[in-house]
Amino acid sequence: MGKARKTRKFAQVKRRINPNDSRLSEGKAKKQKPNDEEEKVRHIEQYPTHMFFTYNSALGPPYRILIDTNFINFSIRNKLEIMDSMVTCLLAKCIPYITDCVMAELEKLGRKYRIALRLAKDPRFERLICVHKGTYADDCLVNRVRMHKCYIVATCDKDLKRRLRKIPGVPIMYITQRKYSIERLPGAVGAPRT
């Protein structure tokens, strides 16, 4: 006996909906409308009135300066005395602050950075106590500056500078050409000429 041929019976083929079917386009349109409404509602962060453009007019002497780990290291490499250089840059009294996270970062770096650690433990530098978990200094500095707009941040880290530039009214101190310079503080001597 031979094999019997099997032929497909009519209407047993898989049926598909045409991609151009109107029922599909209505479903997509319904899904897109709520997203459009959600995009219209935006949260705009409110800033204090003393912030005019990017300058913080409430900043004044004595200046409070938050110091980052790499700022101390670059000051040592460039043979700059931190307190004297800050005073010559700002022409006013400066109070340097070091957070617990920066101290922990310096301690983690080990023997190679023992001079920087000894310099950070100077009694002229005031310590700020951190209550958050973790010891990542960049996040700590950014959060502290967002909460209190009374600080100048001293850093040479490009990523941290990029993050701080997004926050209006926060001056940034950095080292250039073996001296301290400051941006976003118009009255300072070390401010770049525009």
pLDDT value at position 21? 80
Please give the domain boundaries of the chain with CATH numbers for all domains: 61-183 (3.40.50.1010)
Rg (CA), the chain: 30
Sorting pLDDT into bands at 50, 70 and 90, what band is 20? confident
pLDDT score of 188 more than 70:
yes
pLDDT score of 37 more than 70:
no
Non-local (6+) Cβ contacts of 8 within 8 A are none
Q: Is the pTM of this model over 0.75?
A: no
pLDDT score of 34 more than 60:
no
Sorting pLDDT into bands at 50, 70 and 90, what band is 29? low
pLDDT value at position 145? 93
Query: Across-strand partners of 180?
Result: 175
The lowest-confidence range among 36-50, 52-66, 122-136 is 36-50
User: How confident is the model over 154-187, as pLDDT tens digits?
Assistant: 999 999 999 999 988 899 999 999 999 999 887 7
pLDDT value at position 165? 93
CA distances from 6 to 2, 14, 55, 132 (A): 12, 17, 83, 74
Amino acid at 110: G
pLDDT value at position 28? 59
pLDDT value at position 45? 72
User: How confident is the model over 67-116, as pLDDT tens digits?
Assistant: 999 999 999 999 999 999 999 999 999 999 999 999 999 999 999 999 99
pLDDT score of 57 more than 70:
yes
Sorting pLDDT into bands at 50, 70 and 90, what band is 32? low
- How far apart, in whole angstroms, are the C-alpha atoms of residue 118 and residue 113? 9
